[in-house]
Amino acid sequence: MHPSSRDAASSVSPEEIARFSALASQWWDPTGPMRPLHAMNALRIEWACRHFPMRGRTTRHVRVLDIGCGAGLASEALAKAGHDVLGLDASADGISAARAHLDAHPLLAGSGTLDYRVGSAEELVAEKAKFDAVVALEIIEHVTDPEAFMKMLSDLVEPSGMVIVSTMNRTLRSLAVGKIGAEYVLRLLPIGTHEWRKFLTPAELGRFGREANLRIEAIAGMTPSLSGWKKSRDLSVNYIAAFRKG
């Protein structure tokens, strides 16, 4: 939900970074402004891990980059699932909160490794860093150039590696539910969190992926229910997609 971009100076506005930095101290409060992320996190992580590439014949435990990790909600869950994770965010406040939470809640034996870094993904591209999988969860709707962002994700993943993107569809239902309902009626999110015009349709996301040498392999809707968020065929609001490079 926190932005990161190929060009931190131009693709993400200072206002976006400041907005999410201001929420860093409340990120881990399951009843706070990030409660929608807490609610959907188990589904996002389980679905993403299921689509990670195989390393050898027997394991999916891979090297993962969590772009725009905020205070580390997804990063910690990925590490607990056994993956070696780098959480990256442009917000120093977000990374500080992520490190503080990890210090207070150390990973258990059997978990993967977890490191955090303040900076932009563009820096990693310049360093020619590569990962088995890259996850970008609730981020692409915050960048100014989603097409360039997808190209950057492709640059950061190994050949045959996987890119996982979750975002919101640009539909009348998402306007009513994901924007007006979530921010103004139910107050599940701070007002101004999303700009509906920047939501991406699955067709647009798929096209940006193809142009970046990323082939979509799976897509699913994410729908809230009384028992928690579940996978569905309904892509009209929240959805998650898996792309393979090459």
Q: Where do the H-state alpha helices sit in 118-243? A: 121-126, 146-156, 172-174, 202-211
Q: What length is written for the chain?
A: 246
User: Do the annotations mark residue 137 as ligand-binding?
Assistant: yes
Helix (H, G, I), strand (E, B) or coil at 136: strand
What is the C-alpha to C-alpha distance for residues 175 and 59, in angstroms, rounded to an integer?
A: 40
Helix (H) or strand (E) holding 131: strand 131-137
User: Do the annotations mark residue 89 as ligand-binding?
Assistant: yes
Token pair in block for residue 2:
């926190």
Q: What is the DSSP letter of 55?
A: B
Asked if 162 and 132 count as a contact pair (C-beta separation under 8 A), the reply is yes
Helix (H, G, I), strand (E, B) or coil at 233: coil
User: Do the annotations mark residue 43 as ligand-binding?
Assistant: no
User: Do the annotations mark residue 215 as ligand-binding?
Assistant: no
Spatial neighbors of 68 by CB under 8 A, at least 6 apart, are 1, 2, 3, 4, 88, 89, 90, 136, 137, 139, 142
DSSP string, 106-123: PPPTT---EEEEES-HHH
Binding site, annotated residues for S-adenosyl-L-methionine: 44, 68, 89, 137
Binding site, annotated residues: 44, 68, 89, 137
